[in-house]
Structures are given as structure tokens and as C-alpha cells.
Amino acid sequence: MSETNGNGKLYKLDNVSRVFRVGSQEVRAVDAIDLDIDRGEFVAVQGPSGSGKSTLLQLLGALDKPTGGSLSFDGRELTKLGQGDLTKVRSRDIGFIFQTFNLIPTLTAEENVELAMVPIGLNRGKRRARGTDLLEQVGLASRSKHLPSKLSGGEQQRVAIARALANEPRVLLADEPTGNLDSQTADEVVAILRKLSAERDVTVVLVTHADEVAQRASRRLRMRDGKLLDQPAPGLS
Amino acid sequence: MFQFGYVFNELRRRLGRTILTALGLAAGVGLVIGIIGVSQGLDQAQAKVLAPLSSIGTDVLVTRVVGASSNGSSATPTPAASAQTDPRANRGFFFGGPGGNNNNLNVADINALASENSNVTTDLSKLGKPGTKFTHDFFLSATLLSFPDQALSQVAKLPGVVSATPGLTLLAEHQTGTVPQITAELKTGGDTITQNINIAPPSASEQAAIDACLAKRRAAGGSGGFGGPNPSASPGSGGGDFRGGFQSCLPERFRNFRAQFRTPLRTIQQVVNPPQTDIKTTSYNVAGVDPASPRAGLVTTDQLTAGKWLTAGQPNQILVANSYANKNKLKVGSTITINGTTFTVVGLVNPTLTGSTSDIYFPLSTLQKMSSKTGRVTQILVKTSSASNVDAVAKEIQKLLPGAQVVTTKSLAAQVTGSLGDAKKLASRLGGALGVIVLAAAFIIAILLTLSSVAKRVREIGTLRAIGWSKSRVVRQVLAETVGIGVFGGVVGVGIGYAAALAVGAFSPALTATTNGVPNIGSSSFAQQIGLQSSTTTSTVSLHAPVHPTTLLLGIGFAIVGGLLAGAIGGWRAARLAPAEALRNVG
């Protein structure tokens, strides 16, 4: 870990592949990617549909395991961890933001934020306090008792950001966070993401189609057919 | 706990799904409770009809029935007794019982029967002077023979016997009317009997003797002429003296003759008018119970519907059966007079001992005195220390009292026909299967609805996994939700079941049951021989579906099990969802 801290690398991907088998066919969703992501970076991943962006994000988020290569997160080799440990990594170190917000429809805004604090064992008081604080920071203090169905798309995504930050993660992984939002709201959401990640020293990896969103990233990666275009994988002829 | 709130919110805010799943479980649970209730109702109805003994705190009923045989039509006595014991061995008061396989009465039975019923041979002339009105109640034991109450103490001493209570059941004949004139006059004599005798004329030697005698007399007396020996000559001409002389000269044959004759044999028929009387006879059943045994006997305090139980030491108190009371407009406090004694009704009862229900219950000693049966009883009602030794006690009693008919609750069962029997058979054959099918259907519905819910919540489950919820936590969540639905469904189901049971109770369908009652008047082989009705009793019982608290708890338990099952399967399905796949499916 000290080594990782030393050179500021949060992620280190070596020849990472994720191959799906559909019948007799192999689909190389992520194909031999080498990639380092530093702490505090705001990385945008772009690419057409089916290029493997979301799969890469899931590998980074410990939701899925590579079928090849090595993937080190914060000095830990994720490919060697079991499901239980991966769950722990997700609960402690990773925050997810989805295109479709993925709020639990039966829970209020503040309950949705609290949801992410349940696995880390925070007591009710601390959960409430942190939830209120986060909703304030995303500008939704007055909407904390509302169900998702009573919130606008932008508001829902801000609740999702608050939820993603609730476990004080090292990295925020956002999959098309502005995909379902109009451009003005998208700007607001990206602004919030930038602000909070900067304040909290949280690394952000953001998958997006939108150039205007990608432009606000500190680094832009492009993917096609499972490969990173800007950083050709070694050995690729 | 957060998860509890989450579960609650899930149930509350997905009310449609919650209600649908809960209703599925509720319907199943309600039906099962209904089935259990009806089944228990049938059990109760059967117990009421088939096991009348238990309701009067009795496990074994001992009676002495004329011609009691091991294959008798009533409840089967323990066969061992008739086969293994000597019916007359040192037991003078029980005899003649084991009749083997024939229905013939033995002499002892006939004598006993005649003796039992002798006191009721009505001698009208003894009821008073002709023309006077009379009212009298006669008590007869018909074919249910009495026996000395010393049998009671013997039975009470048997191991396993908790109590032995006496009972005396008699048939009462209530007669009212006028003492009739019963005299017939027969006159005899005054007959004229004519006899014609032809006497043979004197023979030659006799004539000679007569002549000689007459000649001798004539010579001695010299009086009067004599018409000669010719018999045709008038004898009168000779005068009185001659007549005497003549007679004395006749041979013995003419002076005295004897003949025997018999008057013709005749039968004199004289019609005697039958006694002109207006005697009316009504019958009712009476029983003597021990006032000191309010918990066991032919009737017990359990069957008391009004008033109070007999007070010991009050010989003139009686209990009256509701049916008899209604018919005769009797109530608590009413009085009736029987053979000059006034009795007060202290309580109304609803007797349940099929075949032996009586109309009036007297203190035992009172009835014994009235019926000239002091020290005699017709039933011994035995309570055993536990249900398991009923059979053993019955066997012991049979050994102790050969000829006794020993009936146990169990031996009364197994003999039922009619719609109750059919329903009971149906319930026992199909009830269980139906319950299982209904429950299984309810469980399957709950499982399918839960699986469908899990399928609809793939994104939610994927999200939970993504933000760090473990598999087990997700499974617990699904499980808690379905158990919550199970509890809800259980409560609603209990309501449905309870309502169904109430509905059954409200409609209370009538079931008929034909059973072999306990031995009573007309239940013996003798009774069958002389054409009395057999001992079968057809009773109608209303079906009720009692719902016990345990049934309700069982219903909720079923629903929770259903919820657990659905949750386990749904949770397993959710746990199998790889988080990435779950999110990808949505994306």
C-alpha cells in the first residue's frame, strides 16, 4: 500500500481482459487493457455503445472479475479476492453512480443515502447525520423525505451522488451519470461531482458519451472493441 | 434497525404486491383453518354421538342385559370374559350372561326378567273400590336388569378405577283411570235327568220262589184274595198288607236296583263383560343418580342448563330433561306428584348418554324406594385413572361380573353410519389431502409472486450489491419481506378461516348418525326376539367448525412458513444474480 501511496496510483491494470461466452462465441468486452489511474484523477472514458466502457467500470468497481491479466486496486490484487472480500471493497472504498440513478423506489432520499452506510455498520445517528450533510452538499436538504418518484431526474442523480459518497469511498465510478439528464442538469451534476471529488480527494472514473462532460475531466480515455485507443495495449500489432 | 425499516417500507410502498402475495397465503391458510375446523367439528360431532360416555365423566359403562351375548348388537363386550370365566362362580347376582352364539334366553334370565317386572302386573282390584279414580306410576326395568349395588363397591376396588357411580334407569308407566267393576256371576244346577230302565221278567225259579213265599204268607195271614201268580192280575185287589207281603216276596233284584250314569260333559260359556275403565297409560323414562356424584353419572352438572344440581339428603328433589320439561311445561321450581309424593324440580338438564337419556332424574335412593329396588342399580359408571387403561379395567370388570355388559367409549365408536359417518370418512380421507393441496397451492403462489418480485427488482438487487450489500444481507432482506407478508397473510387468513368457521356454525348443516347406543331398554337379544326396536339410535347433530387458538396459531405458522419458503427461494434467486450481470441486464 505504501508503494501505491508513494507513486499515487490507485488502479493498476495489466493486460486486463474480460471475455464473455455467448454460446460458442467469445465476446472480448475488455481486451488486454493496460491502465493506471492516479489518486484524485477525474477520468472520463468515452466510446461507442458496446465498446466495453461499462464492463471496464464494473471491473474497476469490483463488481466483476477480469478473465485475464491483473487488476490492482489500492495495492490489492482484486483478481485474487473472493466474493466476500470484493463486497467489502465495494462497501468501503467504492461509490457507484448509474445512468438510471438506481434509487430504491420505496425509500426516501435520505433513506437511499443511508442504504450505503448499512454495510459499513454505522449507527443510526451517524447515518442520519452524514446523510443530512451529504444531501445538503448536493442541494437537496429540503427534499430528504421525498421518495424518488417525487424527485426530478437531476434531483435523483444528486441523491445518487450523495449515496455514492456516503461510505466515504476512495473512488467514484459513474456510468453515464448524465445520460438521462438535460444538458443544464448534466452540467450541474458534473459540477457537483467535480467539486465533491476535489474536496474529498476522491478519484472519479466517469463513462460518458457526451464530449462536453468528458471535456471537464482531467484525463480522457477512448475505447473501441474492448481496447483503449489512446493507450494501445502492449503487444498489439 | 435500518433493514427493518427498509422491509417495512418495501411492504408498505409495494402494497399491491404485498396484498396479492398475502392474499394468496391468506386464502390457503383460511381454507386450511376451515378444513381443520370442519374436521374438528366432525370429531366433536362424532364424539357427541359415538362417545356419549365421555361427556358424563365415564370411561366404562356396566349394565346387565338379558341375554347379553358376545355377538350382541350393541357395543361389543370384551369377548375374553365370556370365553374364559365361569358365569356362575361365586357371583350370585350376575348370571347367565354369556349366551355364546345363540340368542336364546336362559332360564335364569327369564326368571330374573319376570321378577324384575312383577311389580307392575296391574291388579286393578287392588287400586281401590270400583268407581274410584286412581293415578299410579309403575316402575319397570324392562330388559335392563338390576343388580345389587354391592357390585359397585367391588368395581370401585379394581385397580385403575378412579370412581364407580351407580345409576338406575327404569321405564315408568303412568296410569290414570277409574277402578272398574270386575264381577262375573255363574249359576249352575236345575238340570232334569231322566232314566228309563227295562227290568227283565222273573225267571221260572224266581216265580216259583215268589209263589211259595206268597203261599206261605197267605197261610200265615189268610187275608185277602190274591189274583194269582199271574203278574198281569191286579195287585191292588189284595189290600195294603198284601202289598208289603208281596214286596218282601220279590227277589232282591226287584227290590233294590243301582245304576251308574254320568251327566253329559258340557262346557258352560258365560260372557263376562270386560271391566269398564278409562285407564290411560303414558310412559316416560326415569333414572336414579347419586346426588353426591355431580361430576360422573347418568347425568352430570355439565349437562345442567338451568337451576342447580340435586342436594344430597333432599329425597324430593328431581332434575328434569329439557325435552320433557318443555313437553310438560315444567321449569325450575315446578312440582310433580308421583304416587303421593311431591317432588320439586331443582334443575333442568340436557342429558347426552345416547340410548339412556331419561326424562326425570331422582336421587338414587328415592327411586330405589319407589320402585321397590332398594339396594339395586342398573348401571355402574366407571371412571378410570387414564385413557390407556380403559380396556384393562373393562376386562377386569367383565371378569368380576360375568354376564355384565361392559361398554367402553372406544367400543361404541367404529359403528356409525349416516351422513356424519360419510362426512367423517370424507374428512379423514380427503381433508388432509385437501389441506396439503391448498397449502401447497398457496405456497407456490407465494413463491411465484416472490420470484416475480425478485425478477422485477433485479436492478434494485444489483444496486444493493454494487453499494456493498452482501449476498446474505440481500437474502435476509428478501426473506424478511416475505415473512412480513406471511405474517400479514396469516393474520388475514386466520380472519378468513375464522369467518368460514362462523359461517359453518351459522348454517350448521345437520348430519345424521346411526349408532349403536349404550345398552338400554330394548337393546338385548331378548328385545330383538320379541320384536322391540333395536338399540341403534339415529341422531342428528349440527356441524360446527370450532376454531381453537392453537389452530389460529397454526394458521399463522403456516403462512410464515409459506413466507419463509418463498423468501428462501426468492432470496436464493436474488443471491445468484451476479451484481454486474444484474446491472448489465438493466443497462
Closest residue, chain A, to B474 (C-alpha): A119
pLDDT for res B353: 58
pLDDT for res B515: 59
Average pLDDT for A149-170: 92
**Cα–chain-centroid distance for residue A223?**
17
Reply yes or no on whether the pLDDT at A94 is more than 90: yes
Q: How far apart are CA B106 and CA B109, in angstroms?
A: 5
- Does B10 touch chain A if contact means CB atoms closer than 8 Å? yes
Closest residue, chain A, to B8 (C-alpha): A106
For residue A100, the chain B residues in CB contact (below 8 A) are: 459, 586-587
Q: Which of B42, B87, B45, B77 is nearest to B518 (CA)?
A: B77
pLDDT for res B188: 67
A36 vs B259, more confident: A36
For residue A177, the chain B residues in CB contact (below 8 A) are: none
- Does B469 touch chain A if contact means CB atoms closer than 8 Å? yes
Containing B286, the helix (H) or strand (E) segment is strand B280-289
pLDDT for res B505: 81
Of A96, A106, A107, the CB nearest to B467: A96
How far CA A61 is from CA of A202, B264, B271, B574, B579, in Å, comes to 14, 142, 127, 20, 11
**ipTM surpasses cut 0.85:** yes
Closest residue, chain B, to A61 (C-alpha): B466
Of B12, B468, B587, the CB nearest to A167: B468
Query: What is the widest separation between alpha-carbon atoms in chain A?
Result: 57
Q: How far apart are CA B80 and CA B429, in angstroms?
A: 33
- Judged by CB atoms closer than 8 Å, whether chains meet at B467 and A116 is answered as yes
Closest residue, chain A, to B472 (C-alpha): A84
At which residue does the C-alpha cell 311389580 appear? B119
For residue A102, the chain B residues in CB contact (below 8 A) are: 459-460, 462-463, 466, 583, 586
Task: Tell me the average confidence (pLDDT) per consecutive run of 10 residues in chain B, 587 residues long.
Answer: 83 87 87 82 70 64 64 37 38 43 50 62 66 81 75 86 86 81 64 72 85 85 50 47 70 71 64 65 87 84 87 90 88 89 90 71 89 84 80 85 77 61 69 80 85 85 90 90 90 89 82 60 40 52 79 87 89 84 63
DSSP string, B466-503: HTT--HHHHHHHHHHHHHHHHHHHHHHHHHHHHHHHHH
Starting at the edge strand found earlier in the chain, the sheet holding A68-73 runs: A25-38, A9-22, A68-73, A76-77
Indicate which of B583, B584, B585, B586 best probes the interface with A, i.e. most A CBs within 10 Å of its own CB.
Answer: B583
Average pLDDT for A90-111: 92
Residues B147 and B64: beta-carbon distance below 8 Å: yes
In sequence order, the β-bridge partners of residue B347 are B307, B319
> What sign has the CA pseudo-torsion A178, A153, A41, A112?
negative
At which residue does the C-alpha cell 348418554 appear? B353
Q: Which of B539, B510, B424, B412 is nearest to B50 (CA)?
A: B412
For residue B467, the chain A residues in CB contact (below 8 A) are: 90-91, 95-96, 115-116, 119, 163-164, 167
- Judged by CB atoms closer than 8 Å, whether chains meet at A63 and B465 is answered as yes
- Judged by CB atoms closer than 8 Å, whether chains meet at B14 and A119 is answered as no
For residue B3, the chain A residues in CB contact (below 8 A) are: 118
Q: How far apart are CA B97 and CA B70, in angstroms?
A: 9
B222 backbone φψ class: left, alpha, beta (φ>0; ψ -120 to 50): left
Q: How far apart are CA B390 and CA B119, in angstroms?
A: 37
- Judged by CB atoms closer than 8 Å, whether chains meet at A99 and B587 is answered as yes
For residue A99, the chain B residues in CB contact (below 8 A) are: 587
Average pLDDT for A121-126: 90
Of B3, B5, B580, the CB nearest to A64: B580
For residue A164, the chain B residues in CB contact (below 8 A) are: 467
pLDDT for res A232: 42
Tell me how close the Cα of A105 comes to any Cα of chain B, in angstroms: 9
For residue A62, the chain B residues in CB contact (below 8 A) are: none
At which residue does the C-alpha cell 326424562 appear? B359
Where does residue B83 rank: exposed (0-12), middle (13-18), buried (19+ CB within 10 A)? exposed
pLDDT for res A148: 95
- Does B583 touch chain A if contact means CB atoms closer than 8 Å? yes
Closest residue, chain B, to A94 (C-alpha): B467
At which residue does the C-alpha cell 361365586 appear? B90
At which residue does the C-alpha cell 375464522 appear? B498
- Does B305 touch chain A if contact means CB atoms closer than 8 Å? no
Of A119, A124, A175, the CB nearest to B468: A119
Q: Which of A161, A147, A171, A165 is nearest to A191 (CA)?
A: A161
Residues B477 and B7: beta-carbon distance below 8 Å: yes
Question: Cβ–Cβ contacts within 10 Å for residue A224, how many?
Answer: 15
- Judged by CB atoms closer than 8 Å, whether chains meet at B459 and A102 is answered as yes
Instruction: List own/partner pairs for A26-30 with CB under 8 A and 24 or more apart.
Output: A28/A225, A28/A226, A29/A55, A29/A226, A30/A55, A30/A56, A30/A59, A30/A66, A30/A226
> What sign has the CA pseudo-torsion B502, B507, B508, B513?
negative
> What sign has the CA pseudo-torsion B466, B470, B474, B477?
negative
pLDDT for res A80: 92
- Does B456 touch chain A if contact means CB atoms closer than 8 Å? no
Q: Residue B244: what residue type?
A: G
Q: How far apart are CA B201 and CA B321, in angstroms?
A: 95
Residues B434 and B35: beta-carbon distance below 8 Å: yes
For residue B580, the chain A residues in CB contact (below 8 A) are: 55, 58, 63-64
Q: How far apart are CA B336 and CA B349, in angstroms?
A: 17
Tell me how close the Cα of A93 comes to any Cα of chain B, in angstroms: 9
Of B460, B467, B587, the CB nearest to A90: B467
Sequence-separated (6 or more) residues with CB below 8 Å from residue B558: B28, B29, B32, B439, B490, B493
pLDDT for res B257: 65
- For residue A8, the 8-state DSSP code is T
Indicate which of B460, B463, B477 best probes the interface with A, i.e. most A CBs within 10 Å of its own CB.
Answer: B463
Q: How far apart are CA B326 and CA B336, in angstroms?
A: 14
Of A58, A87, A120, the CB nearest to B580: A58
How far CA A114 is from CA of A42, A104, B461, in Å, comes to 25, 11, 16
Please state which of the ranges A12-21, A83-92, B20-29, B102-111 shows the lowest mean pLDDT.
B102-111
What CATH topology corresponds to A39-62+91-228? Rossmann fold (3.40.50)
pLDDT for res B184: 59
For residue B466, the chain A residues in CB contact (below 8 A) are: 61, 63, 90, 96, 102
Question: Cβ–Cβ contacts within 10 Å for residue B419, how many?
Answer: 17
Q: Residue A128: what residue type?
A: R
**Cα–chain-centroid distance for residue B277?**
34
Count Cβ–Cβ pairs < 8 Å, chain A vs chain B: 93
Closest residue, chain A, to B465 (C-alpha): A87
pLDDT for res B528: 41
Domain assignments of chain A as residue spans, ordered by start: 39-62+91-228
- Does B576 touch chain A if contact means CB atoms closer than 8 Å? no
Reply yes or no on whether the pLDDT at A129 is more than 90: yes
Measured at the CA of B506, the angle between CA B500 and CA B509, to 5 degrees, comes to: 95
- Judged by CB atoms closer than 8 Å, whether chains meet at B467 and A163 is answered as yes
For residue A167, the chain B residues in CB contact (below 8 A) are: 467-468
- Does B458 touch chain A if contact means CB atoms closer than 8 Å? no
At which residue does the C-alpha cell 307392575 appear? B120
Of A58, A87, A127, the CB nearest to B468: A87
Where does residue B92 rank: exposed (0-12), middle (13-18), buried (19+ CB within 10 A)? exposed
